[in-house]
Amino acid sequence: MDWLGSFVEWQRFGFNFETLCAGIVILFTIVEAVLLLRQNRIIWRNRSGRSLSVDLFLFLPFLFASLFVYGLERHEGALAINGLLFIFTIPIAIGLAKFNGLSRRHIAVLFLCGCALLAMIVFPVKPLFYSLFAFANVVFLLFQLWELRRSPSVGMIDIHLVIFYGFINAAWTAYAWWFADWPLFAVTLVSTVILAGIAGLYYRKSGRLKQYIRLYKNIINLIKRLRVHEWGMSVHLDLQKCNAGLIRSPGDIKRFIVDLCRLLEMQRFGDAEVHRFGSGHKEGYTAIQKIYDSAIVVHFEEIENRAFLDIFSCKSFDEIGVEKFCEDFFGAKKGTVNVLARG
């Protein structure tokens, strides 16, 4: 038990700040271990490391191993326990090496990190070596951001792991600011920003960000309707970069109107009037559909393949659902919706 008694946490154990911090670090370590196991399972189950940075996950075992050595040097058990996470990162690194392959750069990363870790163990300047590993972590996080940016999909990335690491770095940033540890503050702040960038790019590529924005707009519009006694609502939707063939086809435009009225559960008053007129850049189709609740008007612009939809109705409806339907129907790259309460 003599080795256990050498740790700071054992010596100062009790109802105090040091014991609380140690408990939090150990709790975080358990969560990190579970998430790393989850990431490893995703890679090996799918036999793919698509969108994951081989550089980053080759580096992580050495980063955590350096933390383990640093924790032992400082007799801080919580840090040493957190450093044991290198055990959980090794299977991920092996999986990525197997499924993504190793380049000369990856071999160089292994060699340099191995030499640095060996030097850290041998020489007495362990805080210096750990600081180098901590600063290098920022660079390798950029590798992951770049890998996701150039990948066509989110691949095998476990977003829960990214978010949790972002949360941990944000907590360390606040800690460093409070105790004026500016080198630590700089490293953790930049790491937090990069992890936030990875998470944002993940949600944009996966389409979830758009879903969350739509949900947010739905909530805001619902609040507005509760606060305003309205007679009707006017929805204005602009679609950018639509399918050129669809906006030039009167048959498809009429089909769009019928499907839209069915989606809105609105009864049409006669058939849609679809006419092509104008000259130059203003030439294009315009559709007008009278409905028992009011009217639907759509204008199509053929130079930049845009569509402009106006719906006025005394019957409420889900404008975000309308936006998604219209974007999908015309293959639009972007849609912007605005809602006005009338009355």
What is the CB neighbour count within 10 angstroms for residue 146?
Answer: 12
Burial string for 241-264 (b: 16+ CB within 10 Å, else e) reads ebeeebbbeeebbbebbeebbebb
Average pLDDT for the chain: 85
- Nearest by Cα to 310 from 298, 328, 322, 323: 298
Q: Is the pLDDT of residue 109 over 90?
A: yes
Could you say which DSSP state residue 180 is in?
T
What SS3 class is residue 310? Answer: strand
Q: State the amino acid at position 241 in one-letter form.
A: K
The C-alpha atoms of residue 326 and residue 334 are separated, in whole angstroms, by 10
pLDDT digits (tens, 9 = 90+) for 278-296: 887 788 999 999 998 889 9
The C-alpha atoms of residue 303 and residue 241 are separated, in whole angstroms, by 10
**What are the φ/ψ torsions at residue 28 (nearest 5 degrees)?**
-60, -40
Residue 144 pLDDT = 95
pLDDT digits (tens, 9 = 90+) for 2-41: 555 566 655 666 676 667 777 787 888 999 999 999 999 9
What are the domain boundaries of the chain? 2-200, 230-342
The answer to whether 300 and 241 are in contact (CB under 8 A) is: no
The vertex-34 CA angle with 147 and 163, nearest 5°, equals: 45
Please, which residues have CB within 8 angstroms of residue 120's CB and are 6 or more apart in sequence?
66, 69, 70, 126, 129, 130
CA torsion angle for 86, 87, 88, 89 (degrees, to 10)?
A: 50
The answer to whether 256 and 247 are in contact (CB under 8 A) is: no
Write down the pTM of the prediction. Answer: 0.63
pLDDT digits (tens, 9 = 90+) for 159-214: 999 999 999 888 878 876 876 767 778 888 999 999 999 999 988 887 666 666 66
- CATH code for residues 230-342: 3.60.90.10
Could you say which DSSP state residue 15 is in?
S
Question: Who has greater pLDDT, 208 or 271?
Answer: 271
Residue 208 pLDDT = 63
